[in-house]
Amino acid sequence: MNPLFAPSFSLFSAVGGTYLGQSIALAVAVSWTVCALLSETVSRRLGAHVVNVLRMVLSLLFIGALLWVCTGSPLPPRADATTWGWLLASGLVGYVFGDYCLFNAYLLIGSRFGQLFMTIAPAVSAVAGWILLGERLSPQALAGMAVTMTGIAVSILGRGVPDEEGEGRRRRKVRLNLPTRGVLLGIGAGVGQGLGLTLSAVGLHHYAAGWAHGAAATAPTAAEHLRWLLPFAATQMRAVAGLPGFLLLLFLAGKGGALRRACTDGRGWLLMAATVVFGPFVGVSLSLMATQYTSTGVAMTIMSLSPVLILWPAHVLFGQRVTRREVVGALISVAGVALFFV
């Protein structure tokens, strides 16, 4: 192995000190915000099915290149069958189901509401951990779920209107401000993300344990220098499941022609490359890395700021009207996420 980037990363760790994990988590929040804005733009240009396929292709290429430069091989090093199993399952659930819902939600309700529904993910992850892993579901976590759902409701529900025109008609107390299908897709995105996070956490735990065991038996110093690559390798394994899944969905939807046309769209490729850099390549990988340098609670709370960070750019870039009610709802949702971890 060639620990090419180890000295610079060690220097970064020393400079970051005790705030390295928090800094990484904030970078993740910004990265996901940029990725969401780019994803909405490129999905409207190329279509959600095409975007998901190309995103997986570029993610595999980018991470493969990184692994090749650092380790001499484009494949995840020292990953056993158990690690592959958990991370492939995470890719199917988090990418194929979750991102299918998310990118189609972007087309119907926009990236800012899509990111708002992603605050459901910690609640789903907590429930999944309780059911699948026997983890404790605390009263504080239940309160966090309630607060998160309240924040989403504040953002997407409005005052009711009469069922029909005319005096004396019954008036609905509340109404949904968004298309129902968009809301369902947003919920699906949050559920997929939460389940995928639980599965990937288990897979990364197995990966780290196997890595440590292998390092002790071979070259511990070099292996420890390259430990920071584990989240990137884990993301690559998830993408290995994501690519065939998205290809199947694309051809079932009859979008093969759209994929061929997208291959000659230079601006589309540029947007796709930027989306991958800020999403699967940097954002997802750094999100796994952040929990290695600070507590999961602090990292997840900071990373959950995307629904708030995205409001102003969405207004400036897309001309979307952002109401005070939506700002309050986003803040409440993020506060609910924080209750899971603080």
Contact present, 195 and 94 (Cβ < 8 Å): yes
What confidence tens digit (pLDDT) does each residue in 282-308 have?
A: 787 787 777 777 776 677 778 888 899
Predicted pLDDT of residue 14: 43
**pLDDT value at residue 310:** 93
Nearest to 89 by CA among 198, 204, 199: 199
Whether 197 shows a pLDDT value over 60: the answer reads yes
- Predicted confidence (pLDDT) per residue in 124-156, tens digit: 888 888 888 788 888 888 898 999 999 999 999
Q: Is 233's pLDDT higher than 60? A: yes
Q: What is the mean pLDDT of the chain?
A: 84
Q: pLDDT tens digits, residue range 93-127?
A: 999 999 999 999 999 999 999 999 999 988 888 88
- pLDDT-based confidence at residue 222 (cuts at 50, 70, 90): low
Looking at the chain, the whole-number percentage of residues with pLDDT higher than 90 is 47
The model's confidence at residue 33, banded by pLDDT at 50, 70 and 90, is very high
Confidence band for 217, pLDDT divided at 50, 70 and 90: low
Span 311-329, average pLDDT: 89
3-state secondary structure the chain: CCCCCHHHHHHHHHHHHHHHHHHHHHHHHHHHHHHHHHHHHHHHHHCHHHHHHHHHHHHHHHHHHHHHHHHCCCCCCCCCHHHHHHHHHHHHHHHHHHHHHHHHHHHHHHHHHHHHHHHHHHHHHHHHHHHHCCCCCCHHHHHHHHHHHHHHHHHHEEECCECCCCCCCCECCEEECCCHHHHHHHHHHHHHHHHHHHHHHHHHHHHHHHHHHHHHHCCHHHHHHCHHHHHHHHHHHHHHHHHHHHHHHHHHCCCHHHHHHHCCCHHHHHHHHHHHHHHHHHHHHHHHHHHHHCCHHHHHHHHCCHHHHCHHHHHHHHCCCCCHHHHHHHHHHHHHHHHHHC
The candidate with the shortest Cα–Cα distance to 284, out of 42, 14, 39, 81, is: 39
Question: Nearest 5°: phi and psi at 205?
Answer: -60, -45
What is the predicted pLDDT for the residue at 85? 96
